[in-house]
Amino acid sequence: MLPSQRALFEIPRQICYLNAASYSPLPLRTLEAGRAAVLRKGTPWTIEASFANQQHERARLAAARLINAEAADIALIPSVSYGVATAAKLLPIARGTRVIVLENDHSSPVLEWHTRAEAEGFAVETVRQPDDGDWTSAVLAAIERSGAPPVSLASISSVHWSDGGLIDVDKVGTALRQRSAAFLVDATQSTGVLTIDVKRLDPDFVIFPTYKWLLGPYGRAFLYVAKRHQGGIPLEQTASGRRNVRAENAVYFTDVSYVGDARRFDMGERDHFISMEMASIGMEMMVGWGAPAIAQRLTMLTERIAQAVRSIGVHVPEPHLRAPHMVSLAFKGGMPAGLVEGLASEGVYVATRLGRMRVSPHVYNDEADADRFVEVLTRRLRG
């Protein structure tokens, strides 16, 4: 099991930060790299001509390693919503078919399809949040429902952001392939912690940002595009997406045909000298630790919390229904007003999500954090 990595972060001992599912702190190495990069931008004459491409390819490779992809299958994008919009441009949805989404899923994998549905003649089917917490069975039941219109696409998160509900993407992917349906995975809440192998899963698209579990900055995200879609037209038309459009040439538009892989889908203005390197560092750290070791540590912490809070009357989903790195707490009669704010006043940070308390530790947390959370929560509930 991975030991606590708290020493790699600037987190005072009195701070108990259990909110990685919202955004993570940056490692000290990343902070140092960010400061150096700001200074570099202040003296642009010191930046070598090859620097930008080196940054792009370093980040692309790091992202690819997280999901067992090839670097050529990864596009550099600014956000999950950008990735979904790119996928929607590449993936026409047939009239009379269904696109499956999750109830209360994050906006990015949902709203794009609602926006297109009426004009393009397909239906968006929302899988309701299951009373038993079994998201996988609920999604499979929707896909396999007898007499329903054909499924064209499932556009879903691999872990539900609000309650940590776990979706078995391998089972869902198998059911979709049997129906020749496409699969878009918003892996925001799972990449780096849960193993995702695109060679085995064979999804059409996988999208994830760095500012949560990947210990990186805002504005950096990555889009995996299956090879079968890499001949499509990008969301933006950029010089970098073409084979030979360069300022150094005697003729600027020397060859405007697209590059032959997912690099054609890179965002415009991608030379983020500051945040691109910061994103790479966090991803490389996660790859180095390995998802199994990270998940084992976070399972230990969330189960330690779950077992303790059950004794004070708090409901927690069973382990097989939730992701190892998130635990959602439900309170009889609803969460008491001001509870999350009260915890924060004592240096304990969690989040309110759809009427429940979401607790999400990361590699910088340790057993002392888990025990302190339980102690402060118990005292405030009883008080």
**Span 365-379, pLDDT tens digits:** 999 999 999 999 999
Measured in whole angstroms, the distance separating CA 101 from the mean position of its chain's CA atoms is 16
Domain boundary pick from 237, 265, 288: 288
Report which residue type is found at 308: A
Q: Judge whether 23 lies within some domain.
A: no
Q: How confident is the model at residue 90 (pLDDT cuts 50, 70, 90)?
A: very high
- Does residue 267 share a domain with residue 199? yes
CA distance 322 to 207: 21
- Does residue 239 share a domain with residue 99? yes
Domain boundary pick from 288, 316, 343: 288
With a CB cutoff of 8 Å and minimum separation 6, the contacts of 309 are: 316, 329, 374, 377, 378
State the pLDDT at residue 368: 98
Average pLDDT over residues 250-261: 96
Q: Judge whether 24 lies within some domain.
A: no
Q: Judge whether 133 lies within some domain.
A: yes
Nearest Cα neighbor of 83 from 316, 245, 267 is 267
Average pLDDT over residues 81-101: 97
CA distance 225 to 63: 12
CA distance 125 to 98: 6
Q: How confident is the model at residue 364 (pLDDT cuts 50, 70, 90)?
A: very high
Q: How confident is the model at residue 257 (pLDDT cuts 50, 70, 90)?
A: very high
State the pLDDT at residue 383: 81
CATH number of the CATH domain containing 98:
3.40.640.10
CA distance 344 to 165: 25
- Does residue 326 share a domain with residue 236? no
- Does residue 156 share a domain with residue 299? no
Domain boundary pick from 246, 270, 288: 288
From the number of C-beta atoms within 10 Å of its C-beta (0-12, 13-18, 19+), residue 137 rates as: middle
With a CB cutoff of 8 Å and minimum separation 6, the contacts of 3 are: 297
Average of per-residue pLDDT values in the chain: 96
Q: Is 216 helix (H, G, I), strand (E, B) or coil?
A: coil
Per-residue pLDDT tens for 149-205?
Answer: 999 999 999 999 999 999 999 999 999 999 999 999 999 999 999 999 999 999 999
Q: How confident is the model at residue 273 (pLDDT cuts 50, 70, 90)?
A: confident
Q: State pTM to two decimals.
A: 0.96
Q: Are the beta carbons of 162 and 328 closer than 8 angstroms?
A: yes
Q: Are the beta carbons of 276 and 220 closer than 8 angstroms?
A: yes
- Does residue 211 share a domain with residue 179? yes
Q: Is 332 helix (H, G, I), strand (E, B) or coil?
A: coil
Widest CA span of the chain, in angstroms? 76
Average pLDDT over residues 340-361: 97
What is the extent of the structural domain holding 375?
6-18+291-382
Total number of domains constituting the chain: 2
CA distance 30 to 215: 9
